[in-house]
Amino acid sequence: MTEIRIALPDWVAAVVPWSQPCSTAEARMDVAVTLARENVAHGTGGPFGAVVYDLASGRPVAAGVNLVEQARNAVLHAEVVALMFAQSALDRYSLHAPELPPHVLTTSCEPCAMCLGAVLWSGIQALECGATRDDALRIGFDEGPVFPASYDYLEARGVQVRRGVRRAEAAAILKTYRRSGGIIYNG
């Protein structure tokens, strides 16, 4: 049987303020944007970062960065990686289990079609996005079939969505990545 192992770059642990609560969307987004920026700076992946937070305490549960290139795996987007590590940390396949507090996924860019599906199925109760789909498209990423109705669908199922949090800062990382010759691996 083949085994797949997923590991975050060593530097991630030092970037995430594990013991410090982040009580606002802006503070949470600062961490996601820093993860995206450092992923580009360290050459460990694409320009995307995400963090799952416990909304009751404001503390981070798990972080993710884009590992597509590093792991040679098309599904290892920052959001999916953060959700996988959060579910592992909490030993739950759903972050909406009755004994758990609500959780938010804070991501440096609006999720692609795959990641939006993962948001729904993971049990996340809130989604905060930085850069927009259009920002990602402008540098060449294909985000797949994501429509305004996609967000309506999430909200109708109890996922609160906030878009455009620290958009300028998050979009700047995308531009930096492209200018530095970063690979557009799905375009």
Looking at the domain assignment, is residue 137 inside a domain? yes
pLDDT at 169 over 90: yes
Give the pLDDT band of residue 187 (cuts 50, 70, 90): low
Looking at the domain assignment, is residue 2 inside a domain? no
Looking at the domain assignment, is residue 4 inside a domain? no
**Whole-number Å distance between alpha carbons of 66 and 80:** 9
pLDDT at 1 over 70: no
Looking at the domain assignment, is residue 8 inside a domain? no
pLDDT at 185 over 90: no
For position 79, what pLDDT does the model report? 98
Looking at the domain assignment, is residue 185 inside a domain? no
Q: Is 79 annotated as catalytic? A: yes
pLDDT at 186 over 80: no
Mean pLDDT of 70-98: 95
**How many independent structural domains does the chain possess?**
1
Tell whether the torsion through CA atoms of 115, 120, 124 and 129 is positive or negative.
positive
The domain of 84 spans 17-179
Looking at the domain assignment, is residue 98 inside a domain? yes
Q: For residue range 132-147, what is the model confidence (pLDDT) as tens digits?
A: 999 999 999 999 999 9
Residue 33's SS3 state is: helix
Mean pLDDT taken over the chain: 96
CATH code where residue 153 lies: 3.40.140.10
Looking at the domain assignment, is residue 12 inside a domain? no
Write down the catalytic residue from 38, 79, 128, 169. Answer: 79
Q: Say whether pTM exceeds 0.75.
A: yes
Looking at the domain assignment, is residue 11 inside a domain? no
